[in-house]
Amino acid sequence: MYQRKQYLNELISKKDNGRVKIITGLRRSGKSVLLLKLYRGWLLSQGIQKDQIVSLSLDVVANATYRDPIKLDRYIRSQMHDSTKRYYIFLDEIQFVSDVPNPYVNNPNARITFVDVVLGLMQMENVDVYITGSNSNMLSSDILTQFRDRGDEIRVYPLSYAEFYENYEGDKRDAWQEYYTYGGMPYVYSLKTHEERSEYLKDLLERTYIKDVLERHSIKNSKEILDVLLDVLASSIGSLTNPNKLSHAFKSDRGIQINSDTFAKYLGYFEDSFLLSKALRYDVKGKKYIHTPSKYYYTDLGLRNARLSFRQMEENHIMENILYNDLKRRGMDVDVGVVEYNTKDPQDKNVRKQLEVDFVVNQGEKRIYIQSALSVDDFKKREQEIASLLRIHDSFEKIVVIKDYRKPWRDDHGILYVGVEQFLLDNDIV
């Protein structure tokens, strides 16, 4: 069992803080294990008794009756027998709880939701509430408003490379290749063969994530479009796109007419399900966002690779996606950087060009510029990779992450070069 120390420590630090702890993330990424096994085990080790922990897994059919919020509330309260004890309430996959009409008021529009249940429990001084959910719709602005700033979100990602590496039982020299092939879904590493892992990841994508999107948004006749969209995004990680470009590409390449607003909705659905993450472009010199086009990254590379039947395994793009996920996992704001500059064309005319910084990383007052490159051994390749960094004239850290394993070093410009495995295993580098 992976120990998920980062998230366990987050929960421990928020214990008994008077706020509901909301654990979110991609389904099957380990939220339930974190709450129901790891955190529960920690509580028991601290002297909390078993009868002080009330837990329900709401995605289990045996608990389907408690998807009615009124019945859920009654059950939880019935388990708290002693007002002198402190109770810890664990509600796993709470998005399965339905909205129901309020039977106590004469208003057909009045509804009772899981938010009402949670807010009611939080009124009790001897209760600490924890919920998990795989759908960011449960964290919409309306629901957050109803929590009245009384909730703390803990976002759980698939296994980081550091978590995977710590538990890897094979030759450590093979760890990187295995991770960038199969990603970070914990269960995949209990399977032994490529065929088993491939089948599991494909099935997970098809029967869980895509099915969730179709059912949640009542999509009837667009399954094929969603499939193609996921394929296109999987094939082009690290490339800029937007709904308009997708609309034109579908029409010209596939003869499919879909307007950009529809693509914007579909992209939003996959972001809401935590399957994809969107990185905005940021004009470093102009200090402003360029809202289109953007980049989309897969939250788990195993799912991305399985989507393409492990055919397109370009390590440079996969490495960029892994770095993006790890920076997000560390709690950082990550944008795609743009550096504009003036130069001359072959006719000696003034032209304005753009260079890209793979990641502009912000955390509080700290900023870091990061380039991802397989290799910089060739002088021309190195100059190409750092061209954008050399045109940024502030004093923030600049890092080039390379595939090769080598001792970190700085060039004459003060740019730090570090191997990708070293970068992923050492949080102190950034």
- What digits encode the pLDDT tens for the residues 290-334? 988 999 999 999 999 999 999 999 999 999 999 999 999 999 999
Lay out the sheet containing 87-92: strands in order across.
53-57, 87-92, 127-133, 20-25, 151-156
The owner of tokens 């000696």 is 348
Residue 256 binned pLDDT confidence (cut-offs 50, 70, 90): confident
Mean pLDDT, the chain, integer: 93
At 373, is the secondary structure helix, strand, or coil?
Answer: strand
**Cα gap 126→421, rounded to integer Å:** 45
Query: How much is the average pLDDT of 104-126?
Result: 93
pLDDT at 139: 61
Residue 144 pLDDT > 90, yes or no?
Answer: no
Task: Pick the more confident residue, 146 or 89.
Answer: 89
Residue 107 binned pLDDT confidence (cut-offs 50, 70, 90): very high
Q: Of the candidates 313, 321, 303, which has an alpha carbon nearest to the alpha carbon of residue 199?
A: 303
**Cα gap 31→11, rounded to integer Å:** 12
Residue 148 pLDDT > 80, yes or no?
Answer: no
Query: How much is the average pLDDT of 270-286?
Result: 94
Residues in a beta bridge with 344: 350
On the CB side of 398, CA atoms within 13 Å amount to 19
**Cα gap 309→339, rounded to integer Å:** 36
pLDDT at 222: 87
Residue 254 binned pLDDT confidence (cut-offs 50, 70, 90): confident
Residues 6+ apart with CB under 8 A from 217: 269
**With 0-12 CB in 10 A as exposed, 13-18 as middle and 19+ as buried, what is 93?**
buried
Residue 272 pLDDT > 80, yes or no?
Answer: yes
Which range has the worst mean pLDDT, 134-143, 174-183, 250-259, 388-397?
134-143
311 with 297: CB under 8 angstroms?
no
Residue 244 pLDDT > 90, yes or no?
Answer: yes
Q: What percent of the chain has pLDDT over 70?
A: 97
pLDDT at 205: 94
pLDDT at 147: 73
Query: How much is the average pLDDT of 355-379?
Result: 94
Q: What are phi and psi of 151, to 5 degrees?
A: -125, 145
**With 0-12 CB in 10 A as exposed, 13-18 as middle and 19+ as buried, what is 195?**
exposed
Q: Detail the DSSP E strand segments found in 100-252.
A: 100-101, 111-112, 127-133, 151-156
Residue 346 pLDDT > 70, yes or no?
Answer: yes
C-beta atoms surrounding 430 within 10 Å: 18
Q: Rounded to the nearest 10 degrees, how much is the dihedral formed by the CA atoms of 417, 421, 423, 425? A: -150
Residue 221 binned pLDDT confidence (cut-offs 50, 70, 90): confident
Residue 282 pLDDT > 70, yes or no?
Answer: yes
Query: How much is the average pLDDT of 35-54?
Result: 98
C-beta atoms surrounding 122 within 10 Å: 19
pLDDT digits (tens, 9 = 90+) for 46-102: 999 999 999 999 999 999 999 999 999 999 999 999 999 999 999 999 989 999 999
pLDDT at 137: 62
Any idea where the domains of the chain sit in the sequence? 5-156, 161-430
The topology under which CATH files domain 5-156 is: Rossmann fold (3.40.50)
Residue 406 binned pLDDT confidence (cut-offs 50, 70, 90): confident
Residue 141 pLDDT > 80, yes or no?
Answer: no
pLDDT at 140: 59
Query: How much is the average pLDDT of 106-132?
Result: 94
The owner of tokens 């629901």 is 143
Q: Of the candidates 22, 84, 77, which has an alpha carbon nearest to the alpha carbon of residue 54?
A: 77
**Cα gap 222→179, rounded to integer Å:** 32
Residue 286 pLDDT > 70, yes or no?
Answer: yes
Q: Taking phi first (over 0 means left), then psi (-120 to 50 degrees means alpha), and beta for anything else, what does residue 367 get? A: beta
Q: What percent of the chain has pLDDT over 90?
A: 83
**Cα gap 2→299, rounded to integer Å:** 19
Greatest extent of the chain over all pairs of C-alpha atoms, in Å? 85
pLDDT at 102: 95
136 with 24: CB under 8 angstroms?
yes
* Cis ω for the linkage preceding 158 (within 30 of 0): no
pLDDT at 345: 83
pLDDT at 344: 84
At 109, is the secondary structure helix, strand, or coil?
Answer: coil
Residue 143 binned pLDDT confidence (cut-offs 50, 70, 90): low
**Cα gap 295→236, rounded to integer Å:** 9
pLDDT digits (tens, 9 = 90+) for 180-218: 999 999 999 999 999 999 999 999 999 989 998 998 888
